[in-house]
Structure 1
Amino acid sequence: MERYLEFTINHWEMVLALLLTLSVLLITERRKAAPSVSPQQATVLANGEDALLLDIRTPADFKAGRVIGSKNIPFADLTKRMSELEKHKDKPIVIICKTGQTSSSAANVLKKAEYTNVHRMAGGMAEWTGQNLPLVRK
């Protein structure tokens, strides 16, 4: 224990940088509006709990390949088309985007509209296709 204290005193800049990095990481994680689920967990939610799979990618991306049973509402149109989600307010909603980044912003929009059972699919469609899971192509 003495050596840790000695290290901390002698290298306080490094310890401070570590603490700042951990703080930023913690703040970033807390800002995420919804918990993430794996593609397999998203499938379980869709099949077992009748979750809505909400694909927020562009219509072109959606047509190129989508998850079976997913509904496409592009992120840019989400606030205008919230009425389409009204019947799913009490059901789980899994948000799917391209890489898992935009889904946080969409989850924030849904949380502000008082949707409580919202999830983000970790890795988005990139993760889904990376695991060679089935796609519907139009």
Structure 2
Amino acid sequence: MKLKFIVICCILIMGIFSACSKDGNINNSANNTEDIIVEISTCEAKTLVDTNQDLIIVDVRTREEYEQGHIKGAILVPYDKIAESRENIEKFTDKPILIYCRTGRRSAISIEALREYGFSKIYHMGEGISKICENVDDFQDVLTR
């Protein structure tokens, strides 16, 4: 448990330092807005869903996977259809977005497209929904089956 706490603290500190450039300005996109991409655990995702009313939740799995269970309020945008869905999701670029898939691979691929579409605050549930399913009792209030 202590080791886990130390690892989390180190990751947070590295994230803080890596977000700052030499002169203190952040310039990650063409329009000079700050791009924030945060890797979060399933437990952090649950807290985010519970506390952030503006959060847009995007599930990039297949329709079949989505229908087996998903986070309440999640919008299904299969990762291989993200370009086709651009018009539907671009209207949410001013809001924070939580993106997830089963294991984190497809959602990681989708992040670059979301950045191109103008999303600047992206939370990535890198462990995927399969990690939630391991602890499903802790997540009953945010899952739909």
- Note whether the superposition's TM-score is higher than 0.5: yes
Structure 2 unaligned blocks of 5 or more: 1-35
Alignment of 1:39-78 (within 5 A): 39-49=42-52, 50-78=54-82
* TM norm structure 2: 0.66
**What's the counterpart of residue 10 of structure 1?**
none
Once the two structures are TM-superposed, the CA of residue 41 in structure 1 deviates from its matched residue by 2.0
Q: Could you say which residue in structure 2 is the equivalent of 1:96?
A: 100
Match of 1:123 among 104, 109, 127: 127
The answer to whether the Cα contact below 8 Å between 2:57 and 2:97 also exists between their aligned partners in 1 is yes
- Determine if contact 1:107/1:119 at 8 Å carries over to the other structure: no
Q: Deviations over 1:40-98 (max 9, x none)?
A: 32233233232111000000000011111111111111111012112321111111101
SS of residue in 1 equivalent to 2:72: coil
User: Which one has a larger percent helix, Structure 1 or Structure 2?
Assistant: 1
Aligned equivalents of 2:122, 2:134: Cα separation in 1:
23
More strand by share: 2
Q: Percent identity?
A: 25
Of 109, 112, 133, the residue aligned with 1:105 is 109
Question: Which contiguous aligned blocks of 4+ residues in structure 1 show a shift greater than 3 angstroms?
Answer: none
Long gaps (5+) in structure 1: 1-32
What letter corresponds to residue 55 of structure 1 in structure 2? D
For each residue in 1:9-56, what CA deviation from the matched residue of structure 2 results, as whole angstroms up to 9, or x when unmatched? Answer: xxxxxxxxxxxxxxxxxxxxxxxx932112232233233232111000
RMSD value, Cα: 1.6
The count of residues paired between Structure 1 and Structure 2 equals: 105
